[in-house]
Amino acid sequence: MNNKIIIFDTTLRDGEQSPGASMNTAEKLQIALQLERLGVDVMEAGFAAASPGDFDAVNQIAKQASNIRVCSLARAVQSDIKAAGEALSPAKFKRIHTFIATSPIHMEYKLKMSPSEVIKRAVEAVRYAKTFCDDVEFSCEDAGRSDINFLKEICDAVIGAGAGTINLPDTVGYRLPTELSDMISQMVKFIDNRAVVSVHNHNDLGLATANSLACVLAGARQVECTINGIGERAGNAALEEIVMAIKTRKDVFSELYTDIIAKEIYPTSRLIASITGIEPQPNKAIVGKNAFAHESGIHQDGVLKHKETYEIISAESIGLEKNSLVLGKHSGRHAFKDKLISLGFDLDSEALNTAFEKFKELADKKKEVFDDDIRALVSEEITKIPQSYEIVGLLQSSGGNLASASISIRHNGEIISDSALGNGTADAIFKVIDRISGISGALKDYKVSAVSQGKDALAKVDVKVEFEGGGAVMGHGLDIDTMMASAKAYIGALNSYMRKI
């Protein structure tokens, strides 16, 4: 049996199903390119049939990815599979991932189909998917709660129809490692190398990583996972945890390996956090802020004497260099370009010029510019969508509970200015923007964080706003001034809304 564990990343599909994680095409493209650098084998770029925006994102990624297999999810229905096939058509390497539920509860209550109808539908779906591309994956949704004999029957049928990968998800995160290990070893034996056996575990009981590792030891050779473990409800198995466990515990996993470039783990984690606004919990394994922080005196003393006393993984091995002081206002374009390359950004000359100007503006205001500042600045620049509204000035004052904000905004080549009072400055700012645009928004979430350290740290604001007649959209703003970052975030959400309607 092959020793390579195929890493199937679904950050852009299941990860995007995390509440509040929806991303625009430019953001998805940026993530896709970073996943390619990370060395992921298969990237689930989205669910092409879900919306025109999803179709476009899968299609753009299919056009631009060069060295990675791009995949689209599709229910076992013709229209979904057709959308997936068409969106993926420009990809050099592609895969259609089709699925149908196989557990009694899903078949009876959700699908209202008999087991034999489910098998028939699954076989038709795989056959139809094969007319678009050779590489077809089939998932038994809720396999974790499915009958093993039924799983064998349906897998046999879809393998006969041409499925090359059989994915057995624990969709609701219900199973324990011993149970999944037992199920996977039975299925591996039954499938007997006719297809790759894949697993996809959710984290509802906090077991997604442990379950995935147990499945690998039981013979699964593909693991589906997301960066930072983001995903539906409690999330998916975290890519970084699985990869680092396999790498660190050679004594257990022996010859098993992945092709992930560990040094790209931390930069990828930061990119996902900054684009989605979902920060990993501080104590999150591998990529949390505290994952390499030693607080107690006894631990610090031990680490100083011999690192391995309390460290099983080095921060450097996942690409977490010390938050190094980088460039200052006297740094030149060449040094800036070198820095971007070392951070994994590959910009064309126009984007490089704009990013350099932004860096100079920042270096003028901020004494010390850190790697995280540059990452945030450049990500913001390259994922920018067309600016229907653009903020050109902000004046604010506050006293007691009352605050006022005066804002100038460029829209259709015209500058429009207005002011408003509010309960606090952010409230006043959002009110003026609503007034200028004539579109009122309800603020559903508002988060402020510091990009790096220091009193003059860049502020990052993430908002979730529901505008009239549209669903919720996210907006992100970056500025030295927290209120300006808030205004930019709100305008960013407005611009996303304008693109959607």
User: Binding site for Mn(2+): what residues are annotated?
Assistant: 14, 200, 202, 236
Q: Report the DSSP beta bridge partners of residue 459.
A: 450, 479
Cα–Cα distance for residue pair 351/333, rounded to 1 Å: 12
Give first-to-last CA distance, the chain, whole Å: 51
- Residue 172 vs 188, nearer CB to ligand KIV: 172
Write each residue from 430 to 449 as x if it is in contact with Zn ion (CB under 5 A), else as -, in one continuous string: --------------------
Which of 14, 170, 264, 380 lies at the binding interface for Zn ion (CB under 5 A)? 14
For residue 398, CA distances in Å to 170, 402, 405, 483, 489 come to: 52, 6, 9, 12, 20
Closest distance between ligand KIV and the C-beta of residue 134, in Å?
20
Q: Which of ligand KIV, Zn ion, none does residue 268 bind to, with CB < 5 to 8 Å depending on kind? A: none
Residue 381 interacts with Zn ion (CB under 5 A): yes or no? no
CA distances from 47 to 82, 89, 97, 219, 446 (A): 12, 14, 9, 28, 28
By the 8 A CB rule, do 286 and 65 touch?
Answer: no
Give yes or no for a contact between 458 and 452, defined as CB atoms under 8 angstroms apart. Answer: yes
Query: Please, are residues 225 and 237 in contact by the beta-carbon 8 Å criterion?
Result: yes
Asked if 9 interacts with Zn ion (CB under 5 A), we say: no
Task: Candidates 58-66, 166-174, 190-198, 315-323: pick the segment binding ligand KIV (CB under 6 A).
Answer: 166-174
- Residue placing its CB nearer to Zn ion in the complex, 14 or 264: 14
18: contact with ligand KIV by CB under 6 A: no
Q: Kindly report the length of the chain.
A: 501
DSSP SS3 for 312: coil
Asked whether 183 and 149 are in contact (CB, 8 A), the reply is no
Q: Identify the residue among 94, 95, 130, 200 touching ligand KIV (CB under 6 A).
A: 200
Residue 141 touches which member of Zn ion, ligand KIV, none, C-beta under 5-8 Å by kind: ligand KIV
Minimum gap (Å) between residue 155 Cβ and ligand KIV:
14
Binding-site member from 5, 6, 12, 14 for ligand KIV (CB under 6 A): 14
Q: CA 393 from chain center: how many Å?
A: 33
Supply the minimum distance, in Å, between the C-beta of residue 19 and Zn ion.
Answer: 14
Q: Verify binding: residue 141, ligand KIV, rule CB under 6 A.
A: yes
Pick the stretch among 63-71, 163-171, 319-327, 388-396 that binds ligand KIV (CB under 6 A). 163-171
To ligand KIV, the closest distance from the beta carbon of 97 in angstroms equals 7
Indicate whether 44 belongs to the interface with ligand KIV (CB under 6 A).
Answer: no
- Tell me the torsion sign for CA atoms 43, 48, 49, 52: positive
Contact between 54 and ligand KIV per CB under 6 A: no
212 binds ligand KIV (CB under 6 A): no
| Residue 169 engages ligand KIV in binding (rule: CB under 6 A) | yes
Return the closest-CA partner of residue 265 out of 232, 225, 303. 225
**Which residue lies nearer to ligand KIV by CB, 14 or 27?**
14
Residue 274 or 276 having the CB closest to ligand KIV: 276
Beta-bridge mates of residue 446: 463
